[in-house]
Amino acid sequence: MNRNLICFFPLLFFSLFSRAQVTENKVVAGYLTISKQHPFDWDNLEYKNLTHIILSFMEPVSATDPALRYHGPEDVFAKYDLKEKTFFGFASRLIAEAHKNKVKVILGLCGGNDLHASDLKGLFADDKLRSSFIQNVLATCVKYHFDGVDLDYEYPGSKQEGEGITKFTRELRDAVDKSNKLDHGRPFTITLACPKLDALGQWYDFAALTHYCDWFNIMTYGYEASFTKFAGFNCPLYPAPEAIAAGRNISVDQSMYEYFHLQRKVPLDKLVVGLGFYGWLHQDYTRLYGAKSASISLSYADIVQNYLNAPGWVYNWSDASKVPYLTNEKNKEMITYDDAISIGIKCNYAIEKGFRGVMIWELSRGYLYRKQTDTQPLLQAVGDKFKLQH
């Protein structure tokens, strides 16, 4: 046999084996919300490209009532073919289909009325209410066969609130470990959705939380949005020169690696990179990271089906930030978003850096419902990089 071939085959085997190891235990978790604006159900999901679905959201009834209720209008379920036209009727259909495809479904919990999640703040500060809430959450997971819980607390505004989150996750983990109703042959996952910047994340005690949480879903999107002043990028992997000049030296890499890993000492395999399947239309746009008057949120489906390739809109690419954007000179508008190319680059980044995987906000916003084929190009781009084995 040719000596070059003899050398080649071991190298080929090592390359394939290494690639399998790289993605073997990775997470691809997608949040799924139910809305009238974004039609989507269990039949639309590309399960082959997911490890977890975070079905969202349930919330406490109030700061003093630990019972669970759906976070939104129940009439949204009326259009679905369900025996029980509720969140849990939808969940039952979804979980059954997901489990057939070896995908886990996590119950998404969100935090109530305002920026500081006032309902959860009240519950978590009271030992009895917190315990009752945990029991209600676990009973729900047992009844409907959820595979875990994700807490989206936006956002703790004090050390006390941070301590409440730690107590909740610790006691939830203890309750899971002691439960005689859960199937302990099937791992029960506990995760947190966490803000990307220290201004909103400073009160999380990650040194403690790391012991109770399987991973942290970092919301690395919305860097420039309706609540910011600049016409910049929603999910820049790295800061553009224009961003740095405007004092906006923030990015996915800065959040994930510099802040969470280096500064907050969170292990790489506990960190999951957030991907945005949506964007923003900035009004009164004149230049990158210049001033804007307002911003409107658009799903990826909206952008592709109503703006991309439409008259007056020009496609641009930022090589510095590794993201696309559209501009309309006549209308003085800019759209910042991610496409399949930039999503693939972010997935490569997550794999190469050694992060646990990626999280998607939000699956239905990436569904091109007007098309018959290739309806989820962003999710397919994720799948192409992670090459999941179910």
Pairing mode of beta strands 104-110, 215-218: unpaired
**Predicted confidence (pLDDT) per residue in 4-28, tens digit:** 444 444 444 444 444 444 567 899 9
Report yes or no on 305 lying in a domain.
Answer: no
What is the pLDDT, as a whole number, of residue 373? 86
What is the pLDDT, as a whole number, of residue 8? 44
Full-model pTM: 0.93
Report yes or no on 318 lying in a domain.
Answer: no
Q: What CATH number corresponds to the domain at position 209?
A: 3.20.20.80
CA-CA distance, 221 to 22, in Å (whole number)? 25
What proportion of the chain, given as a percentage, has pLDDT over 70?
A: 93
Residue in this structure with the two tokens 């004090």, named with its chain if needed: 158
Helix ranges (H only) for 148-225 are 159-178, 198-201, 206-209
CA-CA distance, 29 to 148, in Å (whole number)? 12
Q: Which of 298, 318, 314, 316 is nearest to 244 (CA)?
A: 318
Q: Do 28 and 363 contact (CB within 8 A), yes or no? A: no
DSSP 8-state secondary structure symbol assigned to residue 326: E
- Residue 186 confidence (pLDDT) above 90: no
What is the pLDDT, as a whole number, of residue 37? 84
Report yes or no on 9 lying in a domain.
Answer: no
- Residue 342 confidence (pLDDT) above 90: yes
Phi–psi pair at 113, nearest 5 degrees? -90, -25
Helix ranges (H only) for 254-359 are 300-306, 340-353
What is the pLDDT, as a whole number, of residue 7? 47
What is the pLDDT, as a whole number, of residue 14? 43
- Residue 207 confidence (pLDDT) above 70: yes
**Which range marks the domain in which residue 255 is found?**
25-276+339-386
Mean pLDDT over 360-380 rounds to 93
Give the burial string for 231-244 (b: 16+ CB within 10 Å, else e): bbbbbbbbbbebbe
Q: Sorting pLDDT into bands at 50, 70 and 90, what band is 389? A: confident
What is the pLDDT, as a whole number, of residue 114? 61
What is the pLDDT, as a whole number, of residue 161? 95
**Predicted confidence (pLDDT) per residue in 250-270, tens digit:** 999 999 999 999 999 999 999
Least confident of 2-6, 62-66, 144-148, 149-153: 2-6
Phi–psi pair at 297, nearest 5 degrees? -75, 135
The larger pLDDT score, comparing residue 248 to residue 18, is at: 248
Average pLDDT, the chain: 92
The single-letter code of the amino acid at 30 is: G
Counted domains in the chain: 1
Report yes or no on 284 lying in a domain.
Answer: no
Report yes or no on 217 lying in a domain.
Answer: yes
Report yes or no on 235 lying in a domain.
Answer: yes
Report yes or no on 247 lying in a domain.
Answer: yes
Q: Sorting pLDDT into bands at 50, 70 and 90, what band is 112? A: low
Q: Is 358 exposed, middle or buried (0-12, 13-18, 19+ CB in 10 A)?
A: buried
Report yes or no on 33 lying in a domain.
Answer: yes
DSSP letters spanning 30-81: EEEE--SSS---TTT--GGG-SEEEEEEEEESSSS---EEESS-GGGGTTS-
**Predicted confidence (pLDDT) per residue in 269-289, tens digit:** 999 999 999 999 999 999 999
- Residue 225 confidence (pLDDT) above 60: yes
What is the pLDDT, as a whole number, of residue 5? 45
Contacts for 6 with CB less than 8 Å, ≥ 6 apart: none
Q: Which of 142, 122, 270 is nearest to 206 (CA)?
A: 270
